[in-house]
Structure 1
Amino acid sequence: MGAIQGSIFASSKRLQMTDSIDLTVQSLQAHAVEHDHWCIAWSGGKDSSATLTLIMWLLDSGRIPRPKSLTVFYADTRMELPPLAIAARQIMDDLRERGIEVQVVRAPMDKRFFVYILGRGVPPPNNNTLRWCTRQIKVDPMSAAVEHMLGIAGKALMITGVRQGESAIRDARIEMSCSKDGAECGQGWYQQVLPNAKGVRGRIATLAPLLHWRVCHVWEWLKHWAPTAEFGDWSTAMIADAYGGDEAEEINARTGCVGCPLAQEDTALKTVLQNPKWAHLEPLLRLKPLYRELREPRHRIKKAGLDRLKDGSIAKNPQRMGPLTFEARMTGLDRVLAIQAEINAHGPSIDILDAEEESRIRELIALKTWPDGWDGDEPLADTVMDTVYQNGSVQPLLFGATA
């Protein structure tokens, strides 16, 4: 009888921490050394922070050769969990002391999260018809910053924190998901979008040197390796604590914006609040209910009938709901400022909405600003009226409008 053919992975051992690091070194030696200029896309979350600090140690220890230039791009959405934002500031200080160029990348003022909603009147994002946030406040600003850098350097390698776990070694199909192992919001977008973004196409390559890392190795690096003097003395333990400390791997909290409108639960924020040091941040839990409320019809206007788009075509939903009323915007602004003031009165201060952004919101409201395609004369979205279909036909109210 012939021998039974087993799985080619049946006898393989799980990667140990040193194995994961060795594979990262091999990846960088095989691909990164071909490029003179390196960029690191860093969000301040666990995967990109592990990538950044590990590469810095590999460079300092001589395990990989230094490129001619290295630029770290910090994606500052202005909406990060406060512990992560504080850790990012400390890491940026350390990077600059080492002579590393750090660029803080933010969206233009009128496209920042709160300014876009409360100033321009665009409703909070949702997972169905209006998911604008990740690209607008994270990916597009990063693309613009990289494009500007390429105007000087010519070509570059973009290093990202995309990570698929140990199975990535065995899987030829790399799925760029934002939900794998509590992945950071937007990390997969960098890998997909940047090489094809307008202005950078053909001039940038991407590499994810921690693609194969198990999540337990990420926590091990952040909590026990990177904070030691031997591996760089980085302020990464705070990052692990923000995800749940010793229970971080079990909690598997996905981090994104504070009160992320796209997530069902504020798991990461609730995890942070369990730490007495951050208990004063509890008012941030009121952001998600505020976003839900602002999407309600009573706070918005809608098209009354057939609506032609810029290209002359008729909108699929002729009576679609649109932007926020000025009253709703002012209510939202007051509540966000109240949340921020309450937090700052009881602990370390935050500025998810700073003075410059507040001033711009008030200016846009005073200027009677509406998003493109809206003029403010449209009826309130909760107004009862005849139904208009895309073909122009009208279904009158069965019993007429009631007072």
Structure 2
Amino acid sequence: MATNEPADFHAIYNGLVADVRSEYLSSSQTFPWIVGFSGGKDSTLVAHLVFSALLDVSPSRQIRPVHIVANDTLVESPLVSAHLHQSLQEIRNAADTLKLPITVATTTPKDEHTFWVLLIGKGYPSPNSQMRWCTDRLKIQPTSNYIRNQVAACGSAIILLGVRRDESEARRKRIDSYGNGMDSRLHPHKDLQGAFVYRPIVDLSTDHVWEILASHEPPWGGTHDRLIKLYRDAAGGECPIVLSQEDAPGCGTNSSRFGCWTCTVVEKDKSLQGFVDSGNRQYSPLIEFRDWLREIRNDPTLRQGRRRNGKITVINDKLIPGPFTLDARRMILERLLQTQQAYGDTLITEHEIDTIQRIWVNDLLAMNTPGDDA
């Protein structure tokens, strides 16, 4: 721990660790903690505080299990994904060595709900702000299912999130509107029955977060230098852990851009462009593909007239097109494979391609699939 830091930040940090330790030892100690970990600055600080607090708890009192859970959409920005998985492995190794009650887990979308299977297989149009189908299937469902499993096994669970009032006025109003749940630090999760939310850094400013990270080495070893460089090179913020549609506006916005490299919700991917401008030119093909994918979304010649459930949608006498045509889907896959070759690493798996081709065969036999709503 640094000794030359300003006294106020030293006191703030120690106070945060003490608060987390106190909450860990509270009367709800039988309920597991689930730390939502995106690898960004805020969730990293929460994981840092939890790990440090556990080190201050005697082994005999380390009863409450802690789950550090990341969500991998399988189309994460490559540099961010590498940082995320490296951080998770560092936390896992240290927790195992120190015999701390920490489980490190990564949630992923179901095979039939990956980005490529839905977009290229079923023809879902490239996401935009009006039809952001990706958030629920890639982010909300996988992590929510993990939490529900813990609630079912233990009767309840407490989710630790790195949300802060300082992030935006909308965030401030939303946080201030929450009532208290089991005690003063907790409130019930709006959508996950039996789950409660705890926000250890809710009152910190962005400057406080960076000062603490810069002046305190992570308790699992190493430094936070890789994280700091990631932000400096990307010129953007991270997409947060998303557990409900209420949180979804933070995913795919100009202010939160450490997210999917395929994100077509934003007009331009500033973070990926920031990586390229910082010398990582290997990501240029990804930017070109994303921009093209966004451009073709509203080309009527590439869209079917009917939705996958067979219905025709007309709003204000205007036909709302359905999914991409089979020819368009073949074209997208071909261009993605060309991009993958230019990039030099896997962007779509063989398993996904097999799944896509099975969907195509079924669509040729019967173009309408009951139950789909794209």
Is the pair's TM-score, using the shorter chain for normalization, greater than 0.5? yes
RMSD: 3.6
Pairwise CA distance, 1:144: 0.8
Pairwise CA distance, 1:93: 1.7
Pairwise CA distance, 1:216: 2.5
CA deviation digits over 1:255-287, x for unaligned, max 9? 2211421112211111222333x3212211113
Letter in 1 for 2:354: S
Pairwise CA distance, 1:57: 2.2
Question: Do structure 1's residue 91 and structure 2's residue 87 form an aligned pair?
Answer: yes
Pairwise CA distance, 1:336: 1.6
Question: Do structure 1's residue 35 and structure 2's residue 34 form an aligned pair?
Answer: no
- Counterparts of 1:119-198 in structure 2 under 5 Å? 119-128=121-130, 130-165=131-166, 174=175, 195-197=189-191
SS in 2 for 1:55: helix
Which residue is equivalent to 2:16?
Answer: 24
Question: Could you tell me which of 284, 287, 290 is aligned with 2:289?
Answer: 287
SS in 1 for 2:322: strand
Pairwise CA distance, 1:238: 2.3
Which residue is equivalent to 1:380?
Answer: none
Letter in 1 for 2:16: T
Which residue is equivalent to 1:211?
Answer: 202
Which residue is equivalent to 1:71?
Answer: 67
Letter in 2 for 1:336: L
Which residue is equivalent to 2:351?
Answer: 356
**Structure of larger gyration radius:** 1
CA distance in 2, matches of 1:287, 1:66: 48
SS in 2 for 1:39: strand
Which residue is equivalent to 2:304?
Answer: 301
Which residue is equivalent to 2:116?
Answer: 114
Pairwise CA distance, 1:58: 2.6
Question: Could you tell me which of 226, 235, 241 is aligned with 1:238?
Answer: 226
Question: Could you tell me which of 270, 275, 278 is aligned with 2:273?
Answer: 270
Question: Do structure 1's residue 226 and structure 2's residue 226 form an aligned pair?
Answer: no
Moved more, 215-224 or 48-57: 215-224
CA distance in 1, matches of 2:234, 2:311: 55
Contact persistence 2:233–2:274 (CA under 8 A)? no
SS in 2 for 1:35: coil
Pairwise CA distance, 1:371: 6.6
Moved more, 159-168 or 46-55: 159-168
SS in 2 for 1:323: coil
Pairwise CA distance, 1:252: 6.9
Contact persistence 1:240–1:248 (CA under 8 A)? no
Pairwise CA distance, 1:123: 0.5
Letter in 2 for 1:55: V
Contact persistence 1:74–1:105 (CA under 8 A)? yes
SS in 2 for 1:165: helix
Letter in 1 for 2:340: Q
CA distance in 2, matches of 1:371, 1:206: 41
- Counterparts of 1:377-392 in structure 2 under 5 Å? none
Which residue is equivalent to 1:5?
Answer: none
Letter in 2 for 1:141: P
Letter in 2 for 1:50: L
Matched length: 325
Contact persistence 1:121–1:371 (CA under 8 A)? no
Q: TM-score, normalised by structure 2?
A: 0.75
Contact persistence 1:39–1:71 (CA under 8 A)? yes
SS in 2 for 1:174: helix
* Compared CA separation, residues 298 and 220, structure 1 to 2 (3 A): farther
Which is richer in helix? 2
Which residue is equivalent to 2:325?
Answer: 325
Indicate the percent of aligned positions where both proteins have the same amino acid. Answer: 23
- Counterparts of 1:334-353 in structure 2 under 5 Å? 334-344=334-344, 349=345, 351-353=346-348
Pairwise CA distance, 1:308: 5.9
CA distance in 2, matches of 1:218, 1:352: 33
CA distance in 2, matches of 1:371, 1:239: 46
Extract unaligned runs of 5+ from structure 2.
1-5, 97-101, 178-185, 238-253
* Compared CA separation, residues 336 and 308, structure 1 to 2 (3 A): closer
CA distance in 2, matches of 1:133, 1:175: 29
